[in-house]
Structure 1
């Protein structure tokens, strides 16, 4: 399926019943997404298990559902430290243990909290990543995309796109290249892909990159 330009389909934030009644019928038809996507929120409550801290917020099935949700929730830059947003295909949990994630990995983008433009870049990057996924902007390689996570942390924020099979090198690299292109990341800056299996057994603080672009 061709990529869907969800950015050009943003809906008005306020719409009264009177305004809805005046709209032509074709504008009332929702634009379905190729895949349904579930938004998750994580907050580190030490009295609960990691899995219990993952809260399923909503599943969106159309462009209009996505924008209604996005315009309602806090932006990533306004979240408190230690929290995450995750957007994953329906039925896939944002955890390594999920069978559809287990053999995969993630493209990782780190944002320095000392960056004066950090808040703006974080929100732009996170929105662009979500639009890439729900709009099927990775082409055929998008079949292996499972979801994305934004981590808000004291030391620095991270955005990651998760894929389901780290061994599919060609598809994984195409996703990384497309990600870098859409986010307009300087060609001189390298981003890396880490397999979940490598991250789980890392000996240092950082897992070795399986691929880079």
Structure 2
């Protein structure tokens, strides 16, 4: 896959980052990330509970191990309908009920079926934005998910506090700046509680336009 602008900027920024000094002699030293991240996957099955279809793919805390994890799993465009990937900080489970997520919200890109070719680029740019701590309020980010459905797919970034307008807006603006899209896209921010069935029609808290 062709490298996006965000991929190139991320790699350039990490060239001078501190190496893992704890590596044994003779073992290549790795570029450590500020956080450990866990990749999760869901293969939806109406006959099974959420706990039974959610499983942990693996965790990493270095740049090199991120790329190993990334290239050893299928990109979102290759996933079957009703499958999800989630990348969350280690210790945070990718569900609304988990305490760090409970009072939060999410920024969401909607990718229509006819634009599926850019889904992988958006997802990779979002991952690099997260693990590279690109946002000033990165401590307010819990994780991200990509959700594959029949007519549309969604890429979302989850935050801790839906009422922290300053942090949420800065994160949204950074996503608009760093995530590569081929056409103008709207990203919206809603609290998790707004996504409950009885509240789904309520307007988003923030709406931003991402430029190509």
Q: Which TM-score band applies after superposition, normalised by the shorter structure? A: 0.7 to 0.9
Aligned partner of 2:189 in structure 1 is 193
- How do 1:127-206 and structure 2 match up within 5 A? 127-139=124-136, 141-185=137-181, 189-200=185-196, 202-204=198-200, 206=201
Cα distance, 1:174 vs structure 2 = 0.4
Q: Does 1:72 align with 2:76?
A: no
Cα distance, 1:46 vs structure 2 = 2.5
- How do 1:1-213 and structure 2 match up within 5 A? 6-8=10-12, 28-115=28-115, 118-119=116-117, 121-139=118-136, 141-185=137-181, 189-200=185-196, 202-204=198-200, 206-213=201-208
Cα distance, 1:50 vs structure 2 = 1.2
Cα distance, 1:166 vs structure 2 = 0.4
Q: Measure the CA separation in 2 of the matches of 1:150 and 1:60.
A: 19
Q: Measure the CA separation in 2 of the matches of 1:95 and 1:130.
A: 18
1:102-144 Cα distance to aligned partner (Å, 9 max, x none): 10000010011023xx22x1000000000110010112x1110
Q: Measure the CA separation in 2 of the matches of 1:47 and 1:190.
A: 35
The aligned length equals 190
The structure with more radius of gyration: 1
Q: Which runs of 5+ in 1 are unaligned?
A: 11-24
Q: Is the 8 A contact 2:122 2:180 kept in 1?
A: no
1:207–1:157 distance in 2 versus 1, CA, 3 Å: farther
Aligned partner of 1:20 in structure 2 is none
Cα distance, 1:72 vs structure 2 = 0.9
Q: TM-score with structure 1 length normalisation?
A: 0.82
SS in 2 for 1:88: strand
Aligned partner of 1:16 in structure 2 is none
Q: Measure the CA separation in 2 of the matches of 1:71 and 1:155.
A: 26
1:113–1:201 distance in 2 versus 1, CA, 3 Å: closer
Q: Is the 8 A contact 1:76 1:150 kept in 2?
A: yes
The two structures, once aligned, show a CA RMSD in angstroms of 2.2
Q: TM-score with structure 2 length normalisation?
A: 0.83
Q: Which runs of 5+ in 2 are unaligned?
A: 1-8, 16-24
SS in 2 for 1:108: strand
1:137–1:210 distance in 2 versus 1, CA, 3 Å: same
1:13-61 Cα distance to aligned partner (Å, 9 max, x none): xxxxxxxxxxxx8981111110000000000122320122111110111
